[in-house]
Every structure is written in C-alpha cells, then in structure tokens.
Chains A and B, each alone.
Chain A
Amino acid sequence: MSPRDRTGPRDRTGPRDRTGPRDRTDSGAGMGSAPATVLSVRDLHVEIGGSRILQGVTFDTAPGGVTALLGRNGVGKTTTVRAVLGLLPDGGRITGGAVTLDGADVTAEPTHRTVRRGIGYAPEDRGVFTRLTVAENLALAERPGGAHHYDLVHDLFPELLARRAQLAGTLSGGQQQMVAIARTLLNDNRLVIADEPTKGLAPRVVTEVAEVLERAAARVPLLLVEQNLAVVRRLATHAAVLDAGRVVHGGDAASLLADRELTTGLLGVGSRAPSGRASAPRGDDVLGGAH
C-alpha cells in the first residue's frame, strides 16, 4: 500500500484540546470541517511556472493547539502556506479549490486583507528586514486599530527589548527568528503560521524556539510547517501530511508519530516511539528528503 493510499487513525482527544483536523485522506472529501475551524483548505490546486505543485490539498486547522503540516522536502508544504496567504511567486497561481478563514472565502483576496483578518506569519526565511532595526521590524507589524502586545513580546523575548535599536541584519539566526515570531504575536491573531521556524538553527536555539512556540500556542492556534520531528512531537496536537502535492494523512499528531510504519512511509524517518510530548528537540531528528 503506498503512502497515498493510507487512511490514518481517527482523530482522538489527547492530553490537550484536540479539536483539529479529522482524519481523511486526499480522496476528495477532505479532512472534515469542524464548526470552530479557523483555517480551512479545500481541494487546493496550484501551478507554478506551468508545473502542478499542489494537486488537491485539503485540511483544516483547529481553533486551538498546533496543527503540523508535514512531509518530505518538495511535497508542497511551503507552497500551501504561500497559497493560503496569496504569496505565490511570479508565475504561480491557484487553479482550483478554496481557502476559508473563519468561514470567509479568502482564496482570491489580496494578501494584506487576508492577514488583517487575523493571521500572523513567520516565513521560512524569517522575512526579517535586515536594514531596519528590531523596533522598526516590530512597528511595521503593528496593525492599525488593534491592541499591540508589546508587553507579551518583551516578556517572551527580553533580548529583543535590549536590542531594539540594533539592525536586524546584525542579529544571529536565532535572534532573527525571535523577531519573526514576535511579529506574529504583536497583534490579536486568529492563527499563526510558522514555516520551518527551526530551520538552520543550533540545537540549543531550536529548543528555545520550541519553548516560545509552545507558549504562543497557548494563546493562539498555530499552523506549523516543520522538518524537525522532535519539535513536532513536542508541539503538535494535530497533523496533516503532504505527499506529491496532496494531503495523504490527517488527524491526531500523537497517533501519527507513534506509528512507525506511517512515519517511515509518509515522512521518510524511522521514528522512535514517543515517550511523551515534552521530549527535547534533537537537531538530527528531521524528516526525509525528496524522493
């Protein structure tokens, strides 16, 4: 049975609130649509430069907890996130499907309007403006008309307060990632999307980022694209696995990560059986490459 044919375990209630994506494959029915779903992606098709990158992605994010978007390199995780936000590169376009946020169709909406509905986005490359100071990076993220939670940001990232006048380009990779995450927490958001937030970071910094994300997830639902399986194991309450531009498995993250056959077949790793969600991230526990 190929990974695409797999049907994952049903969604179960775990130690935390687990009201996320229900189990379905990409057969077309999607992963269900719980009434409180924040982000809903239905049968999303995307072409870039004439190549079909997404071929019917369907999943939901839960109103709480962390939904992990998983898969090997090149399966379409970042493209999915970019399509949700309307940030496809030149030559890229959505050719089918729908994206809804709190029930509103945002498929063809300009990026800034979708974001203003309540999305915080920390992109794969961090998206920090290197020629602006830390304070200016944060100020740019302020949305007019809403509260700006500098107290929370400074509580989570005291180092940023000390470095507020420093050019972001002179920060370390970990510090830049903190700026990127801080921007997502500055406003009242309905959802935070973090695309590979631990990529390229030292193991100690990975742990720090995971801790911050864990605290952030207590305040706002998180859609996490992540290659570091230890981080996924620590944070994720729900998971959707992509393969070849489709969601091939969805449901409870703990069940997925406990299933050696699933993780080997879908993610390309020989996963250890989880010994609890608080396991420390390990830099070498990463998902497999493109196949």
Chain B
Amino acid sequence: MDTLVLLTLTGLGLGALYFLIASGLALIFGLMDVLNFAHGAFLTVSAYAAWQVLDSVGGMPGLLLALLVGTSTGLLLAVVVEFALIRRLYGRPRDQILVTVGLSLAIPALVQSAWSADARSFPVPDALDGTVTLAGAQVPVNRLVLIAGAVLVLVGVQLFLTRTRYGLIVRAGVEDRAMVTALGVDVTRAFTLVFALGGALAGLAGVLGGLYFGSVSPHQGTSLLIFAFVVVIIGGLHSMPGVALSALTVGLTQQYANYYLGGYGDLAVVVLLALVVLARPTGSGTSPVDRIRRRLESPRAAPVESVLPTGGTP
C-alpha cells in the first residue's frame, strides 16, 4: 500500500512537472500555431540560472531568489526569441519549426560548452530535501512542492484565461485567430504575452525540475519536452484542466509502468499516446494532431478550394 502511495505521489509530482511545461506549450501552439521546440531549451537555461543563484546564495532564501531568477530568465528568453525570430515567421510553419528546432539544438550546446556535459547537483534546501509520511509512505517533500506549484499555476492560468481580456483573446484565438483580428483585436500583442507566459512557465518548470531530479543537465529540457508534447496532444488545446489531467495521466502511467513493468515507463507513455490518437476521431480540425497536419500542409501546393477556410464560395 505504501509503495502505491509513494508511486502515486511521485507520479503526480512528475505529472505536475509535465503540466508546467505543457501548459505554456499548449497556449503557444493553441493561439499562435507555433510548435515551439525551443521550449525545452528555455527550461534548461532557466534551470542553470536558478542553479547558479542557489549555488551562490543557498537555503530557502536562495530557492526563492532562484524561482524569481529562473522564471524571469524563461520569460526574457521567450520574449527575445518571439520578438527577434518567431514574429517574422508567422504563417510560415516549416520555417518556424526549423528555427525552433535549431534553437533546441544550439542552446543546450551552448550550455554544455559553458558548464560541461556533466549534470550539476542542484543544491536543494534542507527543508525540502527530506520526506514526510503520508498513508504510511515516505514521500519526498519536493514531490509535494511540485504538486502545489502546479496547482497554483493551474489556478493562475485559469484566472488569466477566464477573467482577463487577454485571456478572452487567447481562448478565442485558439478557436479562430483570423476572426479575432476581424473583430479589430491586435493579436500580435497577445502572441508576445502568451509566448512570455509560456517562457515563464518553462522557467518555473526548470527550477522545480531541478528540485525534482536534484540536478540540472544541458539536455534536461529537451528530454522533458518530448513528454510535454505528448501531454498536449492527449490533453488538447482548448482546456487547461484538460492539459492538467493529461499531464497527471502521463506522469502516473510512466511511474506505474516503470515500477510494475520493469522500467518500461517511456514505452507505456508512447502506447498511451498511440491509443488516444487512434481512438480520437480525426478530421474535426480542432485536435492538436489535426492542427499540426494542417499547419504542415503547403498552402502554395494545395488546391484553391482547400486553402479557403470557409469552404464556401471563393
């Protein structure tokens, strides 16, 4: 029983980490149609920035400062990338992918050249380094910190989406971005805001990921990004609670499979993804897979009828 409790809470902690990464990814892809493969690199840089701060300051004050610095690093990096590169490539999905994939390779390589390929021990404050007893299981405190962090982010993002005008623009833009502009709304501001928010969440995930794994490494973000993409594809783009539920499902599946199936957690996640994609009706045009397929179709090569969004008279 205590093993199941431990596995469950650890899986929830992992799911919380996935949610922090996937939430920004879903917002960016949902509104902007940008598959941001550099999202993991934002996480990595933020994690190293946080590690530097914690290494210098230490303790809980150091962690609080690291959270601030890590989140700000992700935010600033995202704003710079959006402003300098992504903004010039709207409507060019293949170029966007090339650029973000390039960043996802180049940034970790730069980190590696600066701090070496070896993982660096993340100096977890003593208060968060121990365990607490829950239902008979010794649960690491950092798992609970991640869960709490994810809940706070979920509530915050939901409030942003449902109580603010920019949130309204984002929700509408996920459904029909062109129509939002046809109402006189400048969506490029929303783009920058969402990209910045996504970067900040990646930064936060970088810091909390350091707590979870107890270390940072140049390719940590890239590895986590794969699972975040899985979460987005399973959870969809229209509901942040849906993304959260998907993240928890992926985290728990991975954790249970790793323990009960002898280390096949990653494979179990891939099987889960395949089952969801196969079971989900295609052609609705709203699922992430449909969106990706549509974005990658070359508009110039497509017949006229297929590039007219309304499908009516040209």
Contacts and interface: CB of A to CB of B under 8 A. Distances in A.
B146 to A, nearest CB: 30
B238 A89 contact: no
Given A79-B314, A91-B300, A132 B307 contact: no
Nearest to A47: B304
Contacts of A115: 181-184
B126 to A, nearest CB: 46
B312 A125 contact: yes
A89 B309 contact: yes
A127 B184 contact: no
B304 A53 contact: yes
Nearest to B303: A49
Residue with the greatest number of chain B CB neighbours at <10 A, chosen from A53, A78, A124, A129? A129
B36 to A, nearest CB: 19
A78 B310 contact: yes
B175 interface: yes
A129 B303 contact: no
Interface in A117-149: 121, 123-125, 127, 129-132, 136, 139-141, 143
B61 interface: no
A97 interface: no
Contact of A48 (B172, B180, B307): B307
A141 B313 contact: no
Interface residues of A, number: 41
A87 B300 contact: no
A199 B186 CA distance: 29
Contacts, number: 106
Contact of B300 (A49, A79, A136): A49
A246 to B, nearest CB: 14
Interface in A234-266: none
B117 interface: no
B204 interface: no
A75 B313 contact: yes
Contact of A140 (B169, B238, B300, B313): B169
Nearest to B184: A115
A194 to B, nearest CB: 13
B178 interface: yes
A131 B175 contact: yes
B313 A50 contact: no
B310 A123 contact: yes
A76 interface: yes
Nearest to B182: A121
Given A74-B314, A129-B176, A196-B312, A112 B186 contact: yes
B182 A127 contact: yes
Interface string B289-305: 00000000001111110
Given A49-B304, A51-B304, A73 B181 contact: no
B171 interface: yes
Q: How large is the interface on B (under 10, 10 to 19, 20 to 34, 35 or more residues)?
A: 20 to 34
A111 interface: yes
A129 B313 contact: no
A34 B129 CA distance: 78
A90 B299 contact: yes
Contacts of B311: 125
Contacts of A76: 314
B85 interface: no
Contact of A123 (B182, B187, B304, B314): B182
Interface in A59-108: 73-79, 85, 87, 89-92
Contact of B168 (A49, A87, A140): A140
A124 B312 contact: yes
A183 interface: yes
A116 interface: yes
A110 B187 CA distance: 11
Interface string B99-115: 00000000000000000
Contacts of A74: 313-314
A140 B185 contact: yes
B179 interface: yes
Interface string B226-253: 0000000000001000000000000000
B166 to A, nearest CB: 11
Contacts of A111: 178, 181-182
Given A90-B299, A127-B179, A131-B171, A77 B313 contact: yes
Interface of A: 48-51, 53, 73-79, 85, 87, 89-92, 110-112, 115-116, 121, 123-125, 127, 129-132, 136, 139-141, 143, 183, 187, 196, 199
30 contacts: A48-B304, A48-B308, A49-B300, A49-B301, A53-B304, A53-B314, A73-B313, A75-B313, A79-B308, A85-B182, A89-B299, A89-B309, A90-B91, A90-B299, A90-B307, A91-B307, A110-B181, A111-B178, A115-B183, A116-B184, A123-B179, A124-B310, A125-B310, A127-B179, A129-B176, A129-B179, A131-B175, A139-B165, A140-B168, A140-B169
